[in-house]
Homo-oligomer: A and B are copies of this chain.
């Protein structure tokens, strides 16, 4: 093990390894080499070993990694024994899709609250969750122990919503609004900018040689 700061891309890839290990153990495959795990995840053998090396020594020279052992170790490292409560703010098409997305619950992320500012939507129930007024956010975040907020509102109101989430004591934010949000140092902010991803692809179309 080394004790250097772990780069965020490493964390992100550990979740990929874990998913693959879950599949492998389901298939009763007991052992895997870094090379084979790399093939399955489109990463290099060296990267697999280096990434794991940030957290310990999990392999056996000459044979590779015990799939179940490594799976358990990664679950421990990544905190997969715990579950987290999540709120979605902005229940438009995207917000509604996030409420319905099965991948979150499977991975220990429970969406337990939904907020919107539209009177037409407040009180309606989607996927078992009643849409609340944004005014109820502080109370609900505390009562339901919500630690992550997802922002899927239009860009013009996204900063305001972020401020409200933070003052309601949410710890981290996943932002889908296409705008740069300002948040305090301690809040981890991740941005997903769908238009930008597509636009980047279009750049390569426009500039193909």
Contact = CB atoms under 8 A, between A and B. Distances in A.
B200 A12 contact: yes
Given A8-B200, A205-B172, A103 B190 contact: no
A78 B195 contact: no
A198 B79 CA distance: 13
B16 A198 contact: no
A42 interface: yes
Given A12-B196, A96-B97, A174-B198, A204 B188 contact: yes
Contacts of A92: 97
A13 B135 CA distance: 34
Interface in A76-125: 78-79, 82, 84, 86, 92-94, 96-98, 100-101, 103-104, 106-109
Nearest to A181: B42
Nearest to A108: B202
B100 A202 contact: no
A12 B197 CA distance: 8
Contacts of A97: 92-94, 96-97
Interface of A: 8, 11-12, 15-16, 19, 40-43, 78-79, 82, 84, 86, 92-94, 96-98, 100-101, 103-104, 106-109, 147-148, 150, 171-174, 178, 180-182, 188, 190, 192, 194-208
12 contacts: A11-B200, A11-B203, A15-B195, A42-B181, A43-B180, A78-B199, A79-B202, A103-B195, A106-B195, A109-B195, A148-B202, A171-B205
